[in-house]
């Protein structure tokens, strides 16, 4: 696939800020083991691309890493700033870096919103030699009997939306363009496993944070959320999520 065609749905990139607080409350964060691994090598300056409400940046700051966020959505940035994160507003591709350089670039659940050709070149320019870049995405797996019910609910109410609850079986950014760029050495993809226990209401809130769900008509989203919540309630009211975070890493030559 040509690199230009890799991130085709960028027109939905600003859908998250419609309810930035709900996103911040309900969206899964990232496993501590991943964040710890990112800072095993001391970091002088990190850039968190598509920082949103700060789910990655807050954890880096907690680990004493100086971190700057960049995000085009001022509503998401406002929440990140409330968490103490410095954020500059802009699309990564055309944000003015003012000559700054970084030794770590992170990007949680956002690289697929970025124009792939200028994004890759900009990452190469911003990273110091030896600097590291990590892009990651979460997935949420529910028990098989529940997933069967979820699939039937989506087929009925929202057939175009991705059913949350199954293992997507691979990263969204495939083939990974960083593996063939001469400025980078890419590592093998890695998955960090984690668990989360959610009520039906919490699951309904979580799925509503995904861009394709946000695009549903409000009454359809409302019906979808209710049906998913009721399904979980029929299964004891709790869903044990077997989660994972796919991580793609690359090192600047």
Q: How many CA atoms lie within 13 A of 232 on its CB side?
A: 21
In the list 56, 124, 204, 228, the residue contacting ligand SAM (rule: CB under 6 A) is 56
110 touches ligand SAM (CB under 6 A): yes
Residue numbers 61-80 binding ligand SAM by CB under 6 A: 70-73, 76
Question: What's the min distance (Å) between Cβ of 101 and ligand SAM?
Answer: 18
- Contacts with ligand SAM by CB under 6 A: the residue count is 23
In the list 55, 214, 249, 252, the residue contacting ligand SAM (rule: CB under 6 A) is 55
CA 220 vs CA 5, 130, 155, 215: distances in Å: 30, 48, 12, 10
207 touches ligand SAM (CB under 6 A): no
Q: Using CB positions, name the residue nearest to ligand SAM.
A: 52
Question: What's the min distance (Å) between Cβ of 152 and ligand SAM?
Answer: 27
16 touches ligand SAM (CB under 6 A): yes
First-to-last alpha carbon distance for the chain, in angstroms, is 25
Confirm if 89 and 65 have CB atoms less than 8 A apart. Answer: no
CA 61 vs CA 45, 66, 96, 113, 125: distances in Å: 11, 6, 22, 24, 24
Question: What's the min distance (Å) between Cβ of 116 and ligand SAM?
Answer: 11
DSSP string, 28-86: ----HHHHHHHTSS--S-EEEET-TTTTTHHHHHHTT--EEEEES-HHHHHHHHHTT-E
52 touches ligand SAM (CB under 6 A): yes
In the list 92, 150, 203, 246, the residue contacting ligand SAM (rule: CB under 6 A) is 92
114 touches ligand SAM (CB under 6 A): yes
113 touches ligand SAM (CB under 6 A): yes
In the list 50, 131, 177, 200, the residue contacting ligand SAM (rule: CB under 6 A) is 50
203 touches ligand SAM (CB under 6 A): no
Q: Is the peptide bond before 57 cis (omega within 30 degrees of 0)?
A: no
Q: Which helix (H) or strand (E) holds 213?
A: helix 211-214
Q: How many residues does the chain have?
A: 253
Question: What's the min distance (Å) between Cβ of 156 and ligand SAM?
Answer: 26
Q: What residue ranges bind ligand SAM (CB under 6 A)? A: 13-14, 16, 27, 49-52, 55-56, 70-73, 76, 91-93, 108-110, 113-114
């Amino acid at each position: 696939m040509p690199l230009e065609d890799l991130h085709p749905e960028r027109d939905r990139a600003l859908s998250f800020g419609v309810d930035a607080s709900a996103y911040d409350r309900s969206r899964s964060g990232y496993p501590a083991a991943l964040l710890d691994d990112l800072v095993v090598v001391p970091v002088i300056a990190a850039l968190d691309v598509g920082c949103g409400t700060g789910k990655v940046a807050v954890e880096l700051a907690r680990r004493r890493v100086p971190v700057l966020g960049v995000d085009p959505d001022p509503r998401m940035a406002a929440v990140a700033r409330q968490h103490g994160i410095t954020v500059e507003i802009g699309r990564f591709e055309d944000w003015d870096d003012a000559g700054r350089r970084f030794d770590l670039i992170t990007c949680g659940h956002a690289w697929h919103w970025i124009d792939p050709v200028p994004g890759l070149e900009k990452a190469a320019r911003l990273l110091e030699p030896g600097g590291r870049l990590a892009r990651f995405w979460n997935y949420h797996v529910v028990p098989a009997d529940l997933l069967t019910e979820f699939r039937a609910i989506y087929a009925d109410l929202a057939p175009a939306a991705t059913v949350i609850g199954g293992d997507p079986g691979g990263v969204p950014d495939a083939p990974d363009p960083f593996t063939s760029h001469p400025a980078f050495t890419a590592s093998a993809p890695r998955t960090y496993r984690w668990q989360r226990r959610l009520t039906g209401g919490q699951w309904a809130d979580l799925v509503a944070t995904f861009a394709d769900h946000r695009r549903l008509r409000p009454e359809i989203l409302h019906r979808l959320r209710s049906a998913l919540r009721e399904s979980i309630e029929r299964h004891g009211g709790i869903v044990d999520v077997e989660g994972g975070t796919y991580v793609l890493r690359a090192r600047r030559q």
